Amino acid sequence: MSQLPQAQIEQTQVEQALASYIDPYLEMDLVSAGALQAVTIDGGKISVTLELDYPSEFLNGGVAQLLTTALENIAGCDEANVTLGWHVDAHKSHDGGESLAAVKNIVAISSGKGGVGKSTTAVNLAVALAKDGANVGLLDADIYGPSQGIMLGVAAGTRPETIDNKWFVPVEAHGIKTMSMAYLVTEQTPMVWRGPMVAGALTQILTQTQWGELDYLLIDMPPGTGDIQLTLSQKYPVSGSVIVTTPQDVALADAKKGVEMFRKVGIPVLGMIENMSMHICSNCGHAEPIFGAHGADRLAETYHTKVLGSLPLATYIREQSDAGVPVVAADDSSEVAMMYRHAARRLAVALARGGEAAETMPEIEVSDD
Ligand SMILES: Nc1ncnc2c1ncn2[C@@H]1O[C@H](COP(=O)(O)OP(=O)(O)OP(=O)(O)O)[C@@H](O)[C@H]1O
């Protein structure tokens, strides 16, 4: 008895199989997200190439296997190959000059109020993006209290190398390129600067550092929403901003000013990070929202943006910062490290999609009176 010929596998079957996986950061399947680049069907052999628009090296383990299995389950398939890649596009509002030419995206990490954990958040987000395979830079623009050298374990007194007496070479730490005012001044240097001087110094370190090729340059902004922040945001091709806040009413009121400032200058707010959202008792594990609950959610809703992540108030976070090994660098699969990593991936996706706020934001007119 002769065997019936196998039905030809159709592209729609391949797409349906691939759509069985919903990416938690894109919140949709990879075909709907436009990641499918190529499909080859050669008899019973299927090969697909997918390219995502955010750093997603982590998909190469379990998810690649899951997709392969989904394809192998198609009737008539006897071999499936899945190639997963990613690429970060530039989302620049304007050209930032020579030193920033190969920097694809500048992201301002900001807070309306001081002391909410902005620097800790910026450091951990930067390391998290690097862990996912991105080229990342971090500029400590918190000029009044540059703390990143300590948080990154850069030895006190470290000075960046210079080239041709013109360029600074960023200091590498935990897989990221860093630059901080703290690398250029001594403890004796007075930091009592007026706004224009601060803006001038920041401009200099931003534009005279050889950042090289970066997917993301995170700027740990000075706290507040005054002239310095406004100047920085307007002068450089900032692709998006992230607002760090705690759930207290006072911090939220200041976070609101931050959101409004970025909206005024047309920079998409990619989302908010709620820091110290819960206190976890190190003895009994009891979680208590000591600064209030859901404040950032409400604010995000009002401004059509989202909460990218909520971090607990945890001794471990402070201890790791003080020891110069950020939580994400210390153990990248710990519970707290994963909270930062999820937030970093949501940030990258929000940026790739142009920022939630960009689409829904109403026009704001700025007048001089
Ligand atoms: N989630 C957290 N749990 C525990 N401690 C934290 C947490 N986030 C930050 N801290 C600690 O709080 C202090 C202030 O944090 P950080 O310097 O990051 O804040 P900041 O907003 O950048 O401050 P500033 O506005 O003064 O620059 C640091 O000692 C830091 O280790």
One DSSP character per residue, 50-106 reads EEESS--GGGGTHHHHHHHHHHHTSTT--EEEEEEEE-PPP--SS---GGGTTB--E
Closest by CA position to 109, among listed 362, 366, 351: 351
Residue 367 Cα, ligand 1 centroid: separation in angstroms?
Answer: 36
**Which pair of structure tokens corresponds to residue 167?**
């360029």
Q: Which of the four pLDDT bands, split at 50, 70 and 90, describes residue 232?
A: confident
314 lines ligand 1 (CB under 6 A): yes
Q: How far apart are CA 88 and CA 95, in angstroms?
A: 17
Return mean pLDDT, the chain: 86
CATH 3.30.300.130 is the classification of domain 11-86: yes
Distance CA(49)–CA(326), nearest Å, equals: 35
DSSP 209: B
Window from 107-111, 132-136, 364-368 with minimum mean pLDDT: 364-368
- Name the CATH superfamily for 98-360: P-loop containing nucleotide triphosphate hydrolases (3.40.50.300)
The pLDDT assigned to 367 comes to: 42
pLDDT at residue 217, as a whole number: 96
Nearest protein Cα to ligand 1, atom 31:
318
Question: Could you tell me if the CB of 199 is within 6 A of ligand 1?
Answer: no
pLDDT category, 112, cuts 50, 70, 90? confident
pLDDT of residue 91: 87
Q: What pLDDT score does 143 carry?
A: 73
Find the largest Cα–Cα distance for the chain: 93
Separation between Cα atoms, residue 337 and residue 329, nearest integer Å = 8
What's the Cα-to-Cα distance from 328 to each of 69, 109, 121, rounded to whole Å? 31, 17, 10
d(CA 31, CA 22): 10
Q: Over the stretch 17-29, which tens digit does the pLDDT of each residue have?
A: 999 999 999 999 9
What is the whole-number distance in angstroms between the Cα of residue 11 and the centre of ligand 1?
A: 51
Nearest-atom number in ligand 1 for the CA of 314 is 3
- Please give the distance, rounded to the nearest whole angstrom, from the Cα atom of residue 213 to the centre of ligand 1: 29
Q: Which residues contact 260 (CB under 8 A, 6 or more apart)?
A: 225
The predicted structure's pLDDT at residue 202: 81
Substitution candidate for ligand 1 out of 109, 111, 113, 119 with most atoms within 8 A of CB: 119
Whether the predicted pLDDT of 360 surpasses 60: no
C-alpha dihedral, 105 to 106 to 107 to 109, nearest 10°: 160
Amino acid 364: pLDDT: 36
Which of ligand 1's atoms lies nearest the C-alpha of 121?
18
> Which atom of ligand 1 approaches the CA of 321 most closely?
31
> Residue 214: CB partners within 8 Å, gap ≥ 6?
102, 103, 104, 105, 135, 136, 137, 177
Whole-model pTM above 0.80?
A: yes
Domain boundaries, given as residue ranges, for the chain: 11-86, 98-360
Ligand 1 pocket member 142 (CB < 6 A): yes
Residue numbering of the annotated binding site for ATP: 112-119
| Residue 205 CA from chain centroid, whole number | 21
Res. 173 pLDDT band, cuts 50 70 90: very high
Beta bridge partners of 307: 272
Q: How many residues does the chain have?
A: 369
Minimal-distance CA residue to ligand 1 atom 6? 318
CA of 291 to the centre of ligand 1 (A): 15
Residue 278 pLDDT: 84
Answer yes or no: is the C-beta of 298 below 6 A from any ligand 1 atom: no
Mutation test of ligand 1: which of 127, 318, 339 has the most ligand atoms closer than 8 Å to its C-beta?
318
Ligand 1 pocket member 117 (CB < 6 A): yes
Residue 224 CA to ligand 1 center (angstroms) comes to 15
d(CA 346, CA 27): 10
pLDDT (tens digit, 9 = 90+) per residue, 199-212?
A: 777 888 888 899 99
* CA–centroid distance, residue 118 to ligand 1 (Å): 6
State whether the beta carbon of 133 lies less than 6 angstroms from ligand 1.
Answer: no
Distance CA 177, CA 286 (A): 38
| CA atoms of 167 and 97, how far apart (whole Å) | 14
CA distances from 359 to 109, 273, 305, 328, 353 (A): 21, 20, 10, 32, 10
Cα Rg of the chain (Å, integer): 23
Confidence grade of residue 363 (pLDDT, cut at 50, 70, 90): very low
What's the gap in Å between 239 CA and the centre of ligand 1? 25
Residue 301 has pLDDT above 80, yes or no: yes
